[in-house]
Structure 1
């Protein structure tokens, strides 16, 4: 039965994407089939084989070590502030972002990351049928972040037509930056984080290829990566440490605001209608949760978490998921994979602002297709959850 539901779910995702496509005649089906098959194979390997378990355990152990090293610095500065036996969210989940950001800076400075990103992108471009720039951007987004990635291609931003610009922005919203992966792993199981990262990479291309199809000529298929200004090692290190701290502070501020506002709205709805706002949204998203493989009796609860991620952000939704003890392991896995992306309303402003800071006219273009961007990125999350749900 789960295979039938998965097939219906896939048809629903592709149907909803197809009917909103900008140019159905230009959709290329061969790369789509290749990427869907790759998604299924990768989901099986990561979730159902000893090789996948080994890879995920290794990836998770790296971040566990990084979080342990981060704790050394955090305890030095903040030791004694927390009550004994308690683990404040800001200290244990957000502040380690500073250390991981510093490590990313070192790998950037030593040219290791640019090399990896560029050549993985080139290999991907052979599979997805898109340009080198789009493939590079998808990999770079997953490592550098949804704002920082545009700086690395700022020379080309002003030259891109709307359709190629959309694909770049869709990649940035569908993936998550490596600097906050460690934070996710403290809130949901590492294997779901890793699986979502891999599936979203291909899912972004699949949805963009249907929603926003186009062809890139050989003359247009040029990748120009902007080299960072020459800095000393310690200048660079200080900059990345401060960038990581800013991310932690911004996420903390957004959590304070969103959690409080959702509580306020829930209180108003509860007193007026006898049902919370999240429960109401849960009914709206329940059919999607069911098509992702969630049992119907848990679909409303799962749908409310999915809606929270879209309206607020993934951190708020992950907190809700960790507090919901009535869900089955399968539902937790499916919803966890859905949550690992930047597909929410606040990301529209973040991405549009990042592009506008580099090129005002193109920033305005991004703002205009912002809702379409969110729609596409949400379809990517649903697609990844459906594929993963087959093997959970």
Structure 2
């Protein structure tokens, strides 16, 4: 029965993308089918095989070690603030972002990351039926982040037609930055974080290929990566340290605002209607949870967490999930966890549009105009990834 619901859910997601397609006659079916098969195969490999278990354990162990290193620096500066056995969210989850950001900077400085991103991007372009620029951008988004990635392609940004610009922005919203993966792993199981990272790459191309089909002229399929301004090693370290700290502060500020706002709205709704705002959202999103093959008995609670992610951000939703995780079956917990690992929320529209506008005002206005369609597509990517995982759990 679960498989049947998952198949129906997959068809519904593809149909919802088809419904808003800008050019239904030119949708490329073969690459879409191939990428769905790859998604299922990768999800099965990572979640259901010994090899996948070893890979994920290695990845998680690596990030755990990095977080330990980060905690050495945090303890030196903030030691004594927390009681023994306790660690405030900001110290244990957000501040390690600073250290991860530094590592990304080091790999960027020595040209290791650009080489990896370019290589994987070229391989992806052989599969997805899109251009090298789109494939590189998807990989880069998953490593350097949804706003920073546009800096690396800014030489081409002004010449891109809106179809290709949509795909670039959709990839940025459908993935997550490597700098905050460690933070996610402290809140949900690492195996679901890793799985979502991998299959979201393909999910972004699948949904974009349906919503926004186009063919790239081989003569125009040129990848021009913006070289970073030459800096000394220590100049680079200082810049990435400050960038990581800014990210931690911004995420912390957003959490303070969103968590407080949701608590206030829930209280008001409870007093007036006898039901909280999140419970209402849960009922609205319950059908979405159901087509993700989540049992009807858990669909309302799952829907509330999914909706929270959409209207606030993934951190708030992950915090809510951790509070009620024992109420869900392991399978449901895995499906929801994969859904949460992306930047698909309303605030990302402003972040991406602002990032593009800072580099090219005209293109930034174009992004702002298709902002809701962008969020619609990225949300479908999250649902698609959750459905793919439901096949193998």
Render the CA deviation track for 1:321-357: whole Å, top value 9, x for unaligned: 0000311111111000000000000000000000000
In structure 2, how many angstroms separate the alpha carbons of the residues matched to 1:160 and 1:279? 42
- Runs of 4+ residues deviating >3 angstroms: none
Structure 2 residue aligned with 1:317: 317
In structure 1, how many angstroms separate the alpha carbons of the residues matched to 2:236 and 2:93? 24
In structure 1, how many angstroms separate the alpha carbons of the residues matched to 2:32 and 2:220? 22
**Structure 2: gaps (5+ residues):** none
2:294 is paired with a residue whose SS is coil
In structure 1, how many angstroms separate the alpha carbons of the residues matched to 2:371 and 2:365? 10
In structure 1, how many angstroms separate the alpha carbons of the residues matched to 2:293 and 2:52? 21
Shift of 1:83: 2.0
1:225 is paired with a residue whose SS is coil
In structure 1, how many angstroms separate the alpha carbons of the residues matched to 2:9 and 2:99? 40
Shift of 1:86: 1.3
TM-score (norm 2): 0.99
Structure 2 residue aligned with 1:353: 354
In structure 1, how many angstroms separate the alpha carbons of the residues matched to 2:249 and 2:389? 32
TM-align CA RMSD: 0.5
Shift of 1:219: 1.6
1:224 is paired with a residue whose SS is coil
**Structure 1: gaps (5+ residues):** none
Shift of 1:220: 1.4
Structure 2 residue aligned with 1:332: 333
> Which aligned pairs between 1:1-392 and structure 2 lie closer than 5 A?
1-324=1-324, 325-392=326-393
In structure 1, how many angstroms separate the alpha carbons of the residues matched to 2:391 and 2:213? 28
Render the CA deviation track for 1:176-205: whole Å, top value 9, x for unaligned: 000000000000000000000001000000
In structure 1, how many angstroms separate the alpha carbons of the residues matched to 2:276 and 2:31? 43
Is the contact between residue 141 and residue 149 of structure 2 (CA under 8 Å) also seen in structure 1?
yes
In structure 1, how many angstroms separate the alpha carbons of the residues matched to 2:123 and 2:164? 19
TM-score (norm 1): 1.00
Render the CA deviation track for 1:236-265: whole Å, top value 9, x for unaligned: 011011100000000000000000000011
Shift of 1:390: 1.3
Is the contact between residue 6 and residue 291 of structure 2 (CA under 8 Å) also seen in structure 1?
yes
In structure 2, how many angstroms separate the alpha carbons of the residues matched to 1:326 and 1:45? 27
In structure 1, how many angstroms separate the alpha carbons of the residues matched to 2:335 and 2:6? 12
Is the contact between residue 40 and residue 392 of structure 2 (CA under 8 Å) also seen in structure 1?
no
Shift of 1:84: 2.2
Shift of 1:293: 1.4
1:219 is paired with a residue whose SS is helix
